[in-house]
Amino acid sequence: MLDFVIIGAAQAGLSMSYHLQKLDKTYLVVDSGNEIGGSWLSRWDSLKLFTPTEYNHLPGLKFDTPKGYYPDKHDVAKYFKQYVAKFEIPIQFNTLITSVKKTENGFLISHVDGYFEAKNVIVATGPFHTPYIPAFYSKITGEITQLHSNFYKSINQLQEGDALVVGGGDSGYQILDEISKDKCRTVYFSGDTNVKSIPQEFLGKTLWWWFTLIGFLRFNKYSWIGQKIRANIQPVIGTDVKEILSRSNVIAVGRTNDALEETIYFEKKEVSNIKNIVWSTGYRPNFIWIDGLELDNDNYPKNYRGVSDIEGLYFIGLPWMYTRGSATLGGVSKDASYLANIIKTKKN
C-alpha cells in the first residue's frame, strides 16, 4: 500500500510530489492524459500566461526563461517535463480515476483497468473539469461549427463566414481578439462589455510586481478584503477590452438567450448569418466520483486549505482554495507548502 496517490499531474500534483519526496513518502501520480503538460497543450495555440516567468516557479526548480517573459503553453509543458525528470516523479498516464472510496486501512482508488490502494489521496485535478455549454446549443443547426474554448485551437478550425464568441472572461476576450483580427468576417460578442481590463505592465513594472507589493495575492478568502475581491467580477488581464470592442467588425449583442436552427436569439437582437460559435462559457466542477464527499454551494469540496472532511483526503489547486492564486501556476506552491506541513504532523 502506498502512502499517497496524487490524482493529476499538472502544477498542483507536481508541487505536492516535490514535498512528498522531501517527507520520504511512497507515492504515485496518476493522470488521465497521455503526456506531461497535456492539459496545457490542449488549450488554444496562441495562449500565453498572464504572469511573467519570475512568478511561475514550482518548488525546487526555477522556470528557465528570461525575467519578464510571458510563457506560452509549450514553455509550460517543457518546464513540467524538466521538473518530472529532475525529481524522477513516478507518473502513470492514461489512467482516469472513476472512484475514490474510504476503507478501514486507507483508500481504494479505482480506474478502468484496476485499482490502487493508498493510505492517503491528494486530488490535484485543477479547476477545469466539465466544459459547460448552454443546453440550447443542441437546437442549433449542424451546419454551424460549434466549439467550446476547451477544444478551440486556432482560427483554422472555423469555416468561412461570421462568428460568435460567447463568454466575457480572459479566454473569451483572448479568443475574440484572435478571431476578430480577420477583418473579412463579422464577429458577434455575447458577454460582459463592462468588464475592466488591466495591462500586464504599469510604470515600468509588471502587474504581478504591483500585486506582490500591495499584497493583493496574499488576501485569503476568509478575510474581508478577500471576500470583496471574490464578490466582484474579475478583470481581464493583458487584453485591451475597449480596443477589441471598438473594432468595426465586432458587434456586442448582449446575453445569448436561445436558438433555433440557424437563428440565435440575443438580448439585443436575433441573428441568422452566424457560421461559427466558440463557447467560452467556463466549466463545471465534477467530484461525484469521490464517495462520501461533502460539497459547498459552488459544488467544490468542503475543505480548509486543502484538508477535507474525510481523514486522509486532501485537495490542491482549487479556485480560491485559500487565495486568488490557489489555482494558478505561480500561486499553487504556497498551498502545497502549507499542505505538506499538515501532512508532516500526521502519523500516516
In this chain, the answer to whether the domains covering 2-129+285-345 and 131-196+233-279 adopt an identical fold is: yes
Tell the burial category of 243 from Cβ atoms under 10 Å away from its Cβ (0-12, 13-18, 19+): exposed
CATH assignment of 131-196+233-279? 3.50.50.60
Residues 71 and 68: their CA atoms lie apart, in Å, by 9
Question: Which of 7, 230, 246 lies closest to 121 in space, CA to CA?
Answer: 7
pLDDT tens readout for residues 215-245: 666 777 777 776 776 666 676 767 889 999 9
**What integer is the mean pLDDT of 110-138?**
94
**What integer is the mean pLDDT of 26-55?**
90
**What integer is the mean pLDDT of 78-101?**
97
DSSP string, 135-190: GGGGGB-TTSEEEETTT---GGGSPSSEEEEE--SHHHHHHHHHHHT-TTS-EEEE
Residue 263 pLDDT level (bands cut at 50, 70, 90): very high
**Cβ atoms of residues 313 and 307 within 8 Å:** no
| Residue 311 dihedral angles phi and psi, to the nearest 5° | -55, 125
Residues 327 and 335: their CA atoms lie apart, in Å, by 10
Q: Is the pLDDT of residue 110 over 90?
A: yes
What does the mean pLDDT of the chain come to?
90
Residue 67 pLDDT level (bands cut at 50, 70, 90): confident
Residues 74 and 59: their CA atoms lie apart, in Å, by 20
Residue 278 pLDDT level (bands cut at 50, 70, 90): very high
Identify the architecture of domain 2-129+285-345 in CATH. Answer: 3-Layer(bba) Sandwich (3.50)
Residue 164 pLDDT level (bands cut at 50, 70, 90): very high
Q: Which amino acid, one-letter code, is at 206?
A: T
For the chain, domain boundaries = 2-129+285-345, 131-196+233-279
How many residues does this entry show for the chain? 348
Residue 323 pLDDT:
81
Query: What pTM value is reported for the model?
Result: 0.89
Residue 212 pLDDT:
65
**Cβ atoms of residues 244 and 176 within 8 Å:** yes
Question: Checking phi first, is residue 229 left (phi over 0); if not, alpha (psi -120 to 50) or beta?
Answer: alpha
Burial 22-44 (b: 16+ CB within 10 A, else e): eeebebbbbbbbeebbbbbbebb
Residue 201 pLDDT:
64
